[in-house]
Amino acid sequence: MSDEETPRPLLRVVRGEPDDVELAALTSVIAAAASRGGGDANGTSKRRSLWGEPAAQLRTPIQPGPGAWRASSLPR
């Protein structure tokens, strides 16, 4: 391979001498941040739907009072 065909490295250590474990941790953090997606080209992120949120399936405490039985089954 010539110098023109050599791919650029994704990460470059500028200072220090990290071991393999530290490089693996850094790589996993950067990969996780990149897979999450930081938004679109305008810098705004898309709002995530709460339809499948596991916490939405947990029941909230019923507040006593007039109409509490009716409100107990309504979504919040």
Number of Cβ within 10 Å of residue 26's Cβ equals: 13
- How far apart are the C-alpha atoms of 11 and 30, rounded to whole Å? 10
pLDDT value, residue 42 = 56
Separation between Cα atoms, residue 12 and residue 17, nearest integer Å: 11
DSSP state of 56: G
Percentage of the chain surpassing pLDDT 70?
Answer: 70
Per-residue pLDDT at 19: 93
**Between 38 and 69, where is the model more confident?**
69
pLDDT band at 2 (very low <50, low <70, confident <90, very high): low
pLDDT digits (tens, 9 = 90+) for 27-56: 898 888 888 765 555 556 667 777 777 877
